[in-house]
Structure 1
Amino acid sequence: MTLYSFFKEAHSGFRYVVIILVLLAIVRAFMGWLGKGPYGEGNRKLNLFAMISVHTQFLLGIILFFISPMVQFGKETMKNPITRYWTVEHWVMMVIAIALITIGHSKSKKAALPEAKHKAVAVFYLIGLIIITAGIMLIP
């Protein structure tokens, strides 16, 4: 197994952990927001673990980006849809999603009311998950 194939498999497999944790955080946030439930330690930990998993996935992706044979820089990169996707589009979408999830986590920590905490996680994590899902579905 090469270094590239190891990180490719790790990055590819870990996405399921990310999706499950972010999805669970979103569901619990919507339940707390719409049900006007308390924001407890379980919510805080789930939201934190979801954010940590996204950041871990990002670190795996950065390593993969720099060792990948698909990433190329030059005039031909933008002409080829596969190299353009891996060199530009995929990581830009993922950075935006990670930023949104991080903002949602930060806003939930700063909010005073439980409804505001749940709402921040529900909205920002959901938008982040939609972008992540689009980024995965667009893989050529």
Structure 2
Amino acid sequence: MYEILKSAHSGWRYLVIILLLVAFVNALIGYAGKKPYTEGNRKLNLFTLISAHIQLLLGLVLYFMHDWYRGDSAVAAQRYWKMEHIGMMVLAIVLITVGNSRAKKAATDLIKHRSVFMYFGLALLLITAAIFAMVKADPSRSLFGM
């Protein structure tokens, strides 16, 4: 069961990153071009939010199934998986959630695009930093975690 969940978590990340990147670029174009916030924008942001939350649930199940919380914090790779990875990913998903929520509640289309651009952009930056931190902590892993 663990290997199936690990494979699902590993594969699902690509969907999350692609959706997050597309939503970020879409919001940038909408914000810079002062375009209307459409139903398509809303759905893209919602799908990004849902995919990130599914990834979080898969990750939390793996975290507790594998007992990562018991790892030795003195060892860089164990510390990364025990604290850094989960902390950065939870924060990134919180940013995605806040960005989507603020976009839903915003009064104007420009503010909606700006909210998604800012919060999804910060989440994307945090996820990218986590990828680089993973490679630094565990040199056996490649840039895309394979």
The two structures have a TM-score, normalised by structure 1, of 0.92
CA pair 72-123 structure 1, distance change in 2 beyond 3 A: closer
SS of aligned partner of 2:36:
coil
Counterpart Cα distance in 1 of 2:32 and 2:96 = 20
Counterpart Cα distance in 2 of 1:31 and 1:111 = 18
Cα deviation, residue 72, structure 1: 4.4
1:99 is aligned to: 94
> How well do the aligned residues superpose, as a CA RMSD in angstroms?
1.1
Verify: 1:28 aligned to 2:26, yes or no.
yes
Counterpart Cα distance in 2 of 1:26 and 1:17 = 14
Counterpart Cα distance in 1 of 2:73 and 2:51 = 31
Larger RCO (CA within 8 A; separation ≥ 6): 1
1:133 is aligned to: 128
Amino acid of the residue matched to residue 73 of structure 1? R
In structure 2, runs of 5+ residues without a counterpart are 139-146
2:58 is aligned to: 60
Amino acid of the residue matched to residue 38 of structure 2? G
SS of aligned partner of 1:130:
helix
Counterpart Cα distance in 1 of 2:51 and 2:62 = 16
The two structures have a TM-score, normalised by structure 2, of 0.89
Cα deviation, residue 67, structure 1: 1.3
In structure 1, runs of 5+ residues without a counterpart are none
> Any runs of at least 4 consecutive aligned residues in structure 1 with deviations exceeding 3 A, and if so which?
none
- 1:44-83 pair list within 5 angstroms: 44-68=42-66, 71-73=68-70, 77-83=72-78
Q: Provide Cα deviations, 1:24-51, integer angstroms capped at 9, x if missing partner.
A: 1011101110000000100000000001
Number of aligned residues: 135
